[in-house]
């Protein structure tokens, strides 16, 4: 086994041992999931509709309780939402009466303190990081869908959380914008040294972004396999044309196929 691939207690940030979620006494949304996620890792979660991807993310976010098993972050049991974990959805959910900078400042306001000039500067810096310099004072309806997602990403980063949970954040964007946003996301996540869990239906996107891909299969929702993606952090869209990349796409496809 390659060195550095074995998770130890010291570098594991999120650990699931036999995690299950049963809704309404009968719907098994996630069954017996085992995983160890290391600090700074980028994990994609892929699988068909209804296989429990969002449920897994919401359990990690502390938004819903697990039914059985053990789920810890940095060694403590997840029982409620935590400051070091932030979640982003498919829709940007910006407040239409607030401009881009004010939307990014929402997590700061939620901390219940007065917004300072330093906070505003940080929001502007984050908008620059997500490629929105010059649009700090634009309102959501003046921004394209992709730009709105950039604001949502800046807002996510402004939570200061270093565990980022992204539930199909670019699912509603066209393919070109989505590819750009994927490149941006890779750059930003490695710049802020975050740990990321990224949900998508798109196998190529999952592989392109991730250090490892969690492949889930439905009925019941199972974490069928964890696939290693042996490419470095510096990736360009050409990667998707390489035989090694396509071999991993086929591997993930066959795991998904076998799950039906």
Ligand X SMILES: Nc1ncnc2c1ncn2[C@@H]1O[C@H](COP(=O)(O)OP(=O)(O)OP(=O)(O)O)[C@@H](O)[C@H]1O
Q: How many CA atoms lie within 13 A of 20 on its CB side?
A: 14
Using CB under 5 A, list all residues that contact Mg ion: 54
Nearer to ligand X, 55 or 182 (CB): 55
CB of 249 to ligand X, least distance (A): 19
User: What's the gap between Cα 65 and its chain centre?
Assistant: 19
3-state helix, strand, coil split of the chain in percent (to 5) is: 35, 25, 40
User: Contact, 88 vs 107, CB < 8 A?
Assistant: no
Q: How far is the CB of 57 from ligand X (least distance, A)?
A: 8
Contact 73, 85 (CB under 8 A): yes
> Which CB sits closer to ligand X, 214 or 245?
214
Among 123, 68, 130, residue whose Cα is nearest residue 98: 123
> How many CB atoms lie under 10 A from the CB of residue 156?
22
51 binds ligand X (CB under 6 A): yes
**55 is an interface residue for ligand X by CB under 6 A:** yes
| Cβ neighbours for 169, distance < 8 A, ≥ 6 positions apart | 88, 89, 90, 149, 152, 153, 181, 185, 198
Looking at 14, 15, 20, 29, which residue binds ligand X (CB under 6 A)?
A: 29
Among 94, 102, 221, 252, binds ligand X (CB under 6 A): 221
CB of residue 64 to ligand X, shortest distance in Å: 7
Is 220 a binding residue for ligand X by CB under 6 A? The answer is no
Q: Which is nearer to Mg ion, 12 or 54 (CB)?
A: 54
Which residue number is nearest to Mg ion in terms of Cβ? 54
Q: Which residues bind ligand X (CB under 6 A)?
A: 23-24, 27, 29, 47, 49-55, 221
């Amino acid at each position: 086994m390659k060195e550095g691939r074995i998770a130890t207690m010291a570098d594991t940030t999120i650990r699931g041992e036999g995690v299950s979620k049963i809704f309404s006494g009968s719907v098994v949304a996630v069954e017996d999931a085992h995983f160890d996620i290391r600090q700074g890792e980028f994990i994609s979660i892929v699988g068909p509709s209804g296989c429990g991807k969002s449920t897994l993310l919401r359990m990690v976010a502390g938004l819903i309780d697990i039914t059985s098993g053990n789920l810890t972050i940095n060694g403590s049991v997840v029982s409620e939402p935590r400051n070091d974990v932030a979640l982003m959805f498919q829709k940007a959910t910006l407040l239409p009466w607030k401009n881009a900078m004010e939307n990014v400042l929402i997590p700061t306001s939620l901390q219940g303190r007065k917004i300072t000039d330093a906070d505003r500067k940080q929001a502007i810096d984050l908008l620059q990081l997500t490629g929105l310099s010059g649009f700090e004072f634009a309102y959501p309806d003046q921004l394209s869908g992709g730009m709105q997602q950039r604001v949502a990403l800046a807002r996510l980063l402004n939570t200061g959380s270093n565990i980022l949970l992204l539930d199909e954040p670019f699912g509603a964007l066209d393919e070109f914008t989505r590819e750009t946003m994927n490149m941006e996301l890779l750059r930003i996540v490695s710049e802020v040294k975050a740990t990321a869990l990224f949900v998508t239906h798109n196998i190529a996107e999952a592989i392109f972004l991730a250090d490892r891909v969690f492949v889930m299969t439905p009925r019941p929702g199972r974490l069928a396999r964890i696939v290693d993606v042996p490419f470095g952090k510096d990736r360009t869209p050409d990667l998707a044309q390489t035989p090694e990349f396509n071999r991993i796409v086929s591997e993930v496809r066959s795991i998904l196929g076998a799950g039906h």
